[in-house]
Amino acid sequence: MDVNKNILNNENSIKGLVDVNAEEISRYNVNPNDLFFTRTSETSEEIGLSSAYMGKNIDCVFSGFILRARAKIKSINSLFYAYYFRNPMNRQKIIKHSSITTRALISGSSLYSMKIKLTSLEEQEKIAEFLSSIDMKITLLKEQLNHLNDFKKFCLQQLFAQKLRFKKENGENYSEWKVCKVKDIFKERSEKGYEKLELLSVTLGNGVQKRAEIDAKDNSSDKRDKYKHVLPGDLVYNSMRMWQGASGVTEYEGIVSPAYTVLNPLNIINPLFYGYYFKTNEMIYKFKKYSQGLTSDTWNLKYPLISEISIKNPSLKEQNRIVNFLNLIDKKIQIQRNHIEEVKKFKKGLLQQMLISNPKLIIFFVEF
């Protein structure tokens, strides 16, 4: 049972792979309109997350990591209260009443003591239906985002394997791609002494970012004299995480930790082409192969090692065509991400406004 979801309306999704007897089914059974909470979790943020089962009657049981709640009165829509308990204010109350040792834990008695608000069943159903439709919208948008990401991965592999090629305006093919080494395209930039410039970081998902904008902790102290100078167009990578794709082309001038390697283009190229190229499976495999270290935690790929790796070098015009095409996909992906965040923000605002009627105790909790 995935209690991280607000609604469990598919009985197939909650069937376990364990045999249970009649007594266990009777004691731990799941009925339509039951409300569930996560009882224990590694973090307080995930403790007491609520979900409602709105499926059909089924012989199914829940585990000891979950708490079940059933209404004392009939005029209760548990899906409404699954959303209600995800209201930020109620989430804070649940977290406050949980205990944290090696794991976070919430008891049934703690949940039972919470005062909650009651409105008419009709209003509960309308609110639950509306919020459920928003969740369905978010799910659909996420599926579309996954399709876009899959499409980008497909295009990356096809373009850099040269199975998909652009043509010149006259219909002719561009020249064949040359094979060279990294050192033929990039030199290492290791300039220091720019400690007053802004600190930059390389992220796995979004390339080079300003450290202040990603809320990362500044561990650089006041001794930045050994930090490396970075200029727009440089390709920067984490020397210990290059095999995971931790690289990107910077649009900023700044400084980066000595743990990073800075590649400065030697020739007239489109550095964004290599920013995309270095994310392909082909190159990730090479980066892993050339990294030195006993375990993945110590693998390192400094410039002398990466400089000897063979790479492809198409004409500048074809590089530009590939970059422009992939940039369009990235823009669509970002628009989709923004849309998802807007809908989530809208839903969060609605949850914050779930302030109704007078508080009454209406839920009967059973703890096992």
Token pair, residue 62, equals 């829940």
The string over 255-285, giving b where at least 16 C-beta atoms fall within 10 Å of a residue's C-beta and e elsewhere, is bbbeebbbbbbeeebbbbbbbbbbbbebbbe
Please state, as a whole number, how many other Cβ atoms lie within 10 Å of the Cβ of residue 321.
Answer: 20
Q: Is residue 334 part of a domain?
A: no
Q: What is the DSSP letter of 199?
A: B
Q: Is residue 15 part of a domain?
A: yes
- Cα 44 to Cα 105: distance, rounded to the nearest angstrom: 8
- The pLDDT, as a whole number, for residue 21 is 66
CA atoms within a 13 Å half-sphere pointing along the CA-CB vector of 303: 17
Give the residue with greater pLDDT, 96 vs 342.
Answer: 342
- The pLDDT, as a whole number, for residue 41 is 86
Q: Work out the mean pLDDT of the chain and round it to a whole number.
A: 86
State yes or no: pLDDT of 252 exceeds 70.
Answer: yes
Q: How far is CA 360 from the centre of its chain?
A: 38
Helices (H), 59-205: 78-84, 88-97, 108-112, 121-160, 182-185
CATH code assigned at 33: 3.90.220
- The pLDDT, as a whole number, for residue 20 is 59
Both 69 and 190 in one domain: the answer is: no
Q: Which of 312, 327, 342 is the last residue of a domain?
A: 312
Q: Is residue 152 part of a domain?
A: no
State yes or no: pLDDT of 180 exceeds 90.
Answer: yes
Both 299 and 186 in one domain: the answer is: yes
Both 185 and 306 in one domain: the answer is: yes
CATH code assigned at 197: 3.90.220.20
Both 193 and 111 in one domain: the answer is: no
How does residue 216 score in pLDDT terms, banded at 50, 70 and 90? low
Both 184 and 252 in one domain: the answer is: yes
Both 105 and 211 in one domain: the answer is: no
Mean pLDDT within 130-144: 95
Most distant CA atoms of the chain, gap in Å? 77
Both 106 and 200 in one domain: the answer is: no
How does residue 10 score in pLDDT terms, banded at 50, 70 and 90? very low
State yes or no: pLDDT of 363 exceeds 90.
Answer: no
State yes or no: pLDDT of 151 exceeds 80.
Answer: yes
Mean pLDDT within 137-142: 96
Both 192 and 303 in one domain: the answer is: yes
State yes or no: pLDDT of 170 exceeds 60.
Answer: yes
- The pLDDT, as a whole number, for residue 6 is 56
Give the residue with greater pLDDT, 23 vs 93.
Answer: 93
Give the residue with greater pLDDT, 230 vs 195.
Answer: 230
Q: Is residue 100 part of a domain?
A: yes
Q: Whole-prediction pTM value?
A: 0.80
Query: Per residue in 57-112, pLDDT tens?
Result: 777 777 778 888 888 888 899 999 999 999 888 888 888 888 887 788 888 888 88
Q: Which of 86-95, 110-119, 359-368 has the highest mean pLDDT?
A: 86-95
Contacts of 238 (CB under 8 A, 6+ apart): 202, 246, 247, 259, 260
Q: Is residue 93 part of a domain?
A: yes
Query: Per residue in 257-293, pLDDT tens?
Result: 999 999 999 989 999 999 999 999 999 999 999 999 8
Q: Is residue 323 part of a domain?
A: no
Q: Is residue 337 part of a domain?
A: no
State yes or no: pLDDT of 223 exceeds 50.
Answer: yes
Closest C-alpha to 134, from 332, 334, 338, 345: 345
Both 189 and 302 in one domain: the answer is: yes
State yes or no: pLDDT of 15 exceeds 90.
Answer: no
- Cα 260 to Cα 246: distance, rounded to the nearest angstrom: 10
Q: How far is CA 350 from the centre of its chain?
A: 23
Both 111 and 189 in one domain: the answer is: no
Both 216 and 115 in one domain: the answer is: no
Number of domains the chain contains: 2
Both 184 and 105 in one domain: the answer is: no
Check the CA dihedral 337-339-344-349 and report its sign.
Answer: positive
Q: Is residue 196 part of a domain?
A: yes
Which structural domain, as residue segments, surrounds residue 271?
178-312
